[in-house]
């Protein structure tokens, strides 16, 4: 037992590569090509834009972090029960329910509200129709 085993983990490591340093430090390569500035003789064309805010509604539907509508398709009971769930609703959820019901042409019992989670559950897979409904109201 007179021989000593070298302890590899105590040896100093070599320096990391330059690409590794750039990745972790966020240093970007400097561009050597300068963008060419060209002056245009024609005036800039203005495009019609939609209003950035939603119209005055007593409710609001927030978007997800990926900027999509919070509309989800559910299949329950072995795939026989199809539902559409609308989440992230703030404000008067009852008004949104009645407007959705009229816009989709559904009966009163086919559009329900989960008061605990503040979500609307619609019978059937109706994601495209609900997305169109919300886009028309600029959400």
Reported pTM: 0.60
pLDDT of residue 2: 58
Backbone angles phi, psi at 133, to 5 degrees: -60, -45
Per DSSP bridges, beta strands 89-91 and 119-123 are: unpaired
Residues in the chain: 139
Set out the domains of the chain in order of their start, with CATH numbers. 59-136 (3.30.780.10)
Residue 90: closest CA among 68, 128, 119, 65: 119
pLDDT in tens, 24-51: 777 555 555 555 555 556 666 665 555 5
Mean pLDDT across the chain: 82
């Amino acid at each position: 037992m007179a021989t000593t085993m070298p302890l590899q983990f105590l040896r100093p490591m070599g320096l990391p590569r330059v690409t590794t340093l750039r990745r972790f430090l966020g240093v970007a390569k400097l561009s050597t090509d300068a963008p060419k500035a060209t002056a245009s003789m024609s005036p800039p064309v203005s495009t019609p834009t939609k209003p950035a805010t939603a119209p005055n509604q007593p409710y609001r539907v927030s978007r997800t972090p990926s900027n999509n509508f919070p509309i989800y398709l559910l299949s329950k009971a072995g795939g026989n029960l199809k539902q559409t769930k609308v989440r992230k609703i703030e404000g008067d959820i009852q008004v949104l329910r009645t407007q959705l019901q009229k816009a989709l042409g559904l009966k009163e019992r086919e559009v329900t509200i989960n008061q605990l989670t503040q979500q609307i559950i619609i019978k059937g897979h109706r994601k495209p129709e609900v997305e169109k409904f919300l886009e028309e109201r600029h959400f």
